[in-house]
Amino acid sequence: MSASIGKVLLTHEQIVDRCEELGTIISRDYQDKNLVIVGLLNGSVPFLAELVKHISLPLRFDFVRAKSYCGTTMRGKLELVHDLDLDIHGQDVLVVDDILDSGQTMSCIATMMEEKGAKSVRTCCLLMKPDVKKDYEVHLDYCGFEIPNEFVIGFGLDYDELYRNLPYIGVLKLD
């Protein structure tokens, strides 16, 4: 079975414009706070890199890596592969991911940040699917775009680790 791009859902320009808007809002919300951004590897990297360009505050960032997908299907359990290097105790944490679909990863990581003693934990995703809150309690504080319930690739999102480098978001087409 081969894979390709069925259609472009969001252009690079749309993504950059939305990151600028989110950066302005986040800068306002975190003014006079100790902001630590926690990115979820690998998918959040392009979004996080674009987003932080538009945040006009001093900040630190670190990464965690969790696996929950195999191909196009969700695994039952979240596996933490890499934990934080920074001490976030007493810090204001913003967890950043590429997509919120089942809510499993964001829910688990946000809880983990609270358990590590974060002063506050908020969440930010580039994309959100409409059926997200069925299985996990997740509050998304900052959202780039709500998208249809399709498997998407590009701008960090992958299919078997491919297509992350696309500068746009496309719908996966399996042949």
Q: pLDDT tens across 4-36, in order?
A: 888 999 999 999 999 999 999 999 999 999 999
**144-160 pLDDT tens trace:** 999 998 999 999 999 99
pLDDT at 37 > cutoff 90: yes
Q: Is the peptide bond before 42 cis (omega within 30 degrees of 0)?
A: yes
CA gap 66, 168 in Å, rounded? 23
At residue 70, the pLDDT reads: 42
CA gap 67, 158 in Å, rounded? 12
In this prediction, residue 71 has a pLDDT band, given cuts at 50, 70 and 90, of very low
In this prediction, residue 67 has a pLDDT band, given cuts at 50, 70 and 90, of confident
**39-53 pLDDT tens trace:** 999 999 999 999 999
Parallel/antiparallel/unpaired status of strands 3-10 and 152-153: unpaired
Residue type, 82: H
At residue 28, the pLDDT reads: 98
How are the residues of the chain apportioned to helix, strand and coil, as percentages rounded to the nearest 5?
25, 40, 35
**Catalytic residue annotation:** 101
Looking at residue 162, what DSSP letter applies?
A: B
pTM value > 0.95 = no
In this predicted structure, which of 26-30, 42-46, 72-76, 126-130 has the lowest mean pLDDT? 72-76
Q: Considering only the top CATH level, what class is 12-147?
A: alpha beta
In this prediction, residue 76 has a pLDDT band, given cuts at 50, 70 and 90, of low
At residue 53, the pLDDT reads: 98
Closest by CA to 64, choosing from 24, 20, 113, is 113
